[in-house]
Each structure stands twice: as structure tokens, then as C-alpha cells.
Structure 1
Amino acid sequence: MAKKSENKPLALVSTLSENIPEHVSFELLESNIITLHGLDTALAAISVSSINQTVVNPNPIFLSNPTGKSILVDEYDAKKSLEKYGLKLPETEKCLQSDAHLVSDQIGYPVVIKALGSAHKSELGEVFLNLENQKSVKEALRKISKKHVIVEKMIGDAVVELLVGIVHDPAHGMLLTVGAGGVLTEILSDTSSILLPSSKSEVLDCFNQLKISKIAKGYRGALGVDINQIIDAIMKIQDFVLDNRDKLFEIEINPLIVTTSEVIVADALIRKVT
């Protein structure tokens, strides 16, 4: 009633973040009523909105979401799709298990062997790193249940490993999350998120929020990396997602390996419309 009688922005504030069910938030949003979940969130939003900000050529926010059932694109095809947008991959081949030792010889050791077709290969024990010869490759293959595998060159000089993920959020549009990747993803819980599309400067600000960014820049005299290369890689991932936004539910690159000279997509998960 208040919204109908007052031609002013209206927000509903809950004292605790869990006090407004998600379906209620969506119903209110359809009536252009914002829900602020928790007093801390509400006060932060009010504080930001009170600042006079001049936005030059603001980017549009895409709220449309893909519909229908989803399928998981296998890692090899997912990475090849990203390669078309200028992202670098390790030397990579997919093959039958029976041919993996020959492919490993061609690529050159050390190699990585992964099961093809599993969403969470590491948790399933189907990723084998730093295999130095045919014997270690054959031993790894005995532990993989899938018929097809990925063989790729081992990247051994990483300075940092990052997570880059983009999901369609029904309430906010496309959300980019950048964080510590690899084995540190769950240990550190070091992430920062922004809405897409975003500019290079916005992505850089997002990256600089991360604790791991200090390592990337060269912590306590250690070798750092070219931060511009990281931002360029994230922008290319954004380009891929924006071009395919009506077909993608989510994408996650983990890890995005950063060395002193390059940024490499070591693993990629894409979930798209069937």
C-alpha cells in the first residue's frame, strides 16, 4: 500500500539476513520494492546511496536468464571455447585411456592426466599431477573410471592460482566472482564479486580486494606477476560470457594459473542450456 501511495523508492529492511525468505524477496522485487537483508547490509546500502556519485556511460546490467535444462560441457570443449577468445591453455589433448601414454610422450613430461566428463575430478580422485614418465601415467590410468581422459602439459611455475566464476543471479543479473583458486579456494575463502558487464578498472578494483593479490604483486620481495595480464584474461572471460549469455548458466575457471610471464586456463567448467 505504501508503495502505491508514495511515488518514492521503497525498501524493506529485516533485522537479520535470514528473516526474509527468498521467494518473498522476488515477489517484492517484481513490485519494485528492494529487500535489504540484515541491518548491516541496510546501513551499508544507505551509506553508499548518500554519496553523490557521477557515473559516466554506465554499463547496462543484463537481467535476462537462460531457461530450460542444463548440461555440463566437458572440460576439453569448455577450454577450447575459451581459447577462441584469446585465452591461453596448457598444451592439451583428449584421448582414449589406451592412448594416453603415447599422447604423454608427444606432449612431453611432466604431464597432468584427468578423467574427462567429471564435474569434480579432484574430489573424485581422478586428477593426477606432475607425472614424470610412462610408468607413472599408466599407474594413474588404473585409478580412472572414465573411458576418455585429458592429457596436458604440467604448469609448474605458478605464482598464484585464481578462481574466476560467473553465474546468472535471478535477482541481480550476471555476477563475477574472483578469488584464490586451486587448493586454496575453500581454505582461504578469499573472494570478491561484482556485477557484469564491468570495466577494466572495476575488475582491477575487484581483484585488489583479494588477500592473494598481495602475493600476485610480489609479497616481501618475492617475484610478482603482470597484473594487467590477469585483468585482460578476466575481460576475455567476460566477453565470452556476454556473447553467450542466453545459453550459459555458469562458468568457472579454477585454477587460472598465473606465472611470471603468462595466464593459463588450467581447468574450466561450463554449464549451458541443452
Structure 2
Amino acid sequence: MPEAVAHQLVSQGVLPLCGMPEAVEAIEVAARVGKQTICNVLIPPKITASTVLSEVRAKQALTQHGLRLPKSQRADGTEMLAESARELGFPVVLKGEGVAHKTEAGAVVTGITDEQQLFAAAKAMPVDSFLVEQMITGTTVELLIGVVLDPAHGYVLTLAAGGTLTEILADSTSMILPVQSEDVRNALRKLRVAPLLDGYRGAPPANMGAIVDAVLALQSYVIAEMPFEIEINPLMCGPDGAIAADALITTGECHD
């Protein structure tokens, strides 16, 4: 982009007054990650990483912005496990608390159908407290929604194929916040797993409106709280809705 155009954008208040090279770079990045107008780019203050929230606290924060979550019960020690599972109803998912990447650490077991399996799974986990969750069924596709703070360009939203195969599939697309509903729909269509959202080979289609709502709920949290980083993986997407099965938030600390 010519410098004269960039000067004009800066003079109109479209870009932060951070110097011409940075302004031009910001414009180029915005063009790469999506067809969004530069005037809509969210530029937060300087933020550094602060606290990594527990899964329970992260989900509590997100549900206040409209994100759907599975029903769950905390269990301090194994004594409360059976009661928690009975209240939720089998099958359930058991997670070890205090572990960021649970699958790699052996701290998550899905599809538990009775108390014997529940206690065996808990015994094998390297933790003393647990989260017992409702098992989400009828999932069409698992997605990842992530937001990271780029110091030069603001918050960047990533939509990707999620679940345990995220790194292997490497199927993602990114945009600069804020986004609108149509931006999210268009981005989802760019993913290689997009046919799964439409109901691949006779499977029921995912509820696209619910997925878009989940992304906008995450954006609402980001705008309100200005975190350093946030990730939902997986977002369980099916014909009945989109439910965040796991959430990781690193809060941000603002600096003048």
C-alpha cells in the first residue's frame, strides 16, 4: 500500500499512531487474515500474561457471555465421584483438575458408563481433584476457537479443526477482531472440515447459528476482559447446538 494512503488512514484515526512502518504492516496483516475493514480492528492497550484460570473458573467466566457448557460437578477427592456422576447421569467424562493439556497428560477419560470405570479412571490420573462432566453426544464435528494477542495488530481469532487431531490436521483460518456473524460463517467455509458442518454422507448438519453464537460469545468476553490468550478446544458442534467441552484462559495485565 502506498505511504500516502497509509498517511491518510492514520490522519483519519483509522490506525493507531504507532509509526508508519507499523501502520503499513498492520494493514498488510489485516488483508492476509481476512477481508475486514481496518477501521474495525480492535487495538487493546499493552497487555502481558497474568494468571492461567482453572477450567472451572474459565468456563464460569465464559458462560456469563453466553457460551454453552456441559453440565458438570467438581469432586475434591474420589469420595465425591460416584455422587457427582449419579447426579449428572452416565455416561460421563472425567477430567483431572489443574492440567492444561489433559489428553497428553492422561487427565481426561470419556465415555465412562459406570462407577467401576469412574474410579479406575480417577486412580490412573496424577491429580487429587476432578471434574465430572456430562458426556456430549451427537457431535458432527469438533472445532477449536482461539484468540491470541498480537502486540502489533491486536487480537487475532483462529477457527480450526479441533479435538485431539488439531495439530495433525493443521486446518485453520484467522481473522482480526472484532468480527461479525457473516465473517465467522465465511471463515468456517474455508476449513477443510467444512463439509462435515453441512452433514457429510448423510450425517445431520451442525447448527451453524449456534457455532457463530459461540464465536461471538468468546469475542464478547475478549472485548470485556482483555485477556492475554484464550482457547476453546473442543467446541462440540452438532444439530442441537455448540458446546464448549474445554476452555483455557490466560488473563491479561494492562500497562500504560
TM-score normalised by structure 1 residue count: 0.79
Matching residue of 1:80: 60
After TM superposition, list the pairs within 5 Å mapping 1:189-228 onto structure 2: 189-228=170-209
**Identity within the alignment, %:** 34
Letter in 2 for 1:121: K
Matching residue of 2:21: 33
Matching residue of 1:22: none
Cα distance in 1 for residues equivalent to 2:193 and 2:54:
29
- Asked if 1:143 is matched to 2:124, the reply is yes
- Asked if 1:256 is matched to 2:235, the reply is yes
**Residue 147 of structure 1: CA displacement?**
1.6
Q: Is the 8 A contact 1:70 1:249 kept in 2?
A: yes
Unaligned runs of 5+ in 1: 1-5, 11-28, 38-44
Q: After superposition, what is the alpha-carbon deviation per residue over 1:155-179, rounded to whole angstroms, capped at 9, x for unaligned?
A: 1221000000001111110000001
**Residue 219 of structure 1: CA displacement?**
2.1
Match of 1:244 among 225, 234, 241: 225
RMSD of the alignment, in Å? Answer: 2.8
Cα distance in 1 for residues equivalent to 2:155 and 2:112:
38
Matching residue of 1:157: 138
TM-score normalised by structure 2 residue count: 0.84
- Greater relative CO (CA pairs within 8 A, separation 6+): 2
Matching residue of 2:69: 89
Match of 1:168 among 149, 170, 178: 149
Q: After superposition, what is the alpha-carbon deviation per residue over 1:4-54, rounded to whole angstroms, capped at 9, x for unaligned?
A: xx86759xxxxxxxxxxxxxxxxxx953215999xxxxxxx5xx79xxx99
Structure whose alpha-carbon radius of gyration is higher: 1
Q: Is the 8 A contact 1:63 1:171 kept in 2?
A: no
Match of 1:267 among 242, 246, 250: 246
SS at match of 1:235: helix
Cα distance in 2 for residues equivalent to 1:224 and 1:191:
20
Letter in 2 for 1:32: M
SS at match of 2:248: strand
Cα distance in 1 for residues equivalent to 2:85 and 2:123:
16
- Asked if 1:118 is matched to 2:94, the reply is no
**Residue 58 of structure 1: CA displacement?**
4.2
Matching residue of 2:112: 131
Letter in 1 for 2:210: Q
Q: Is the 8 A contact 2:97 2:131 kept in 1?
A: yes
**Residue 220 of structure 1: CA displacement?**
3.3
Aligned length: 237
Q: Is the 8 A contact 2:6 2:23 kept in 1?
A: no
Q: Is the 8 A contact 1:63 1:172 kept in 2?
A: no
Q: Is the 8 A contact 1:257 1:263 kept in 2?
A: yes
Q: After superposition, what is the alpha-carbon deviation per residue over 1:60-86, rounded to whole angstroms, capped at 9, x for unaligned?
A: 42242323x522100011111111112
Cα distance in 1 for residues equivalent to 2:185 and 2:195:
13
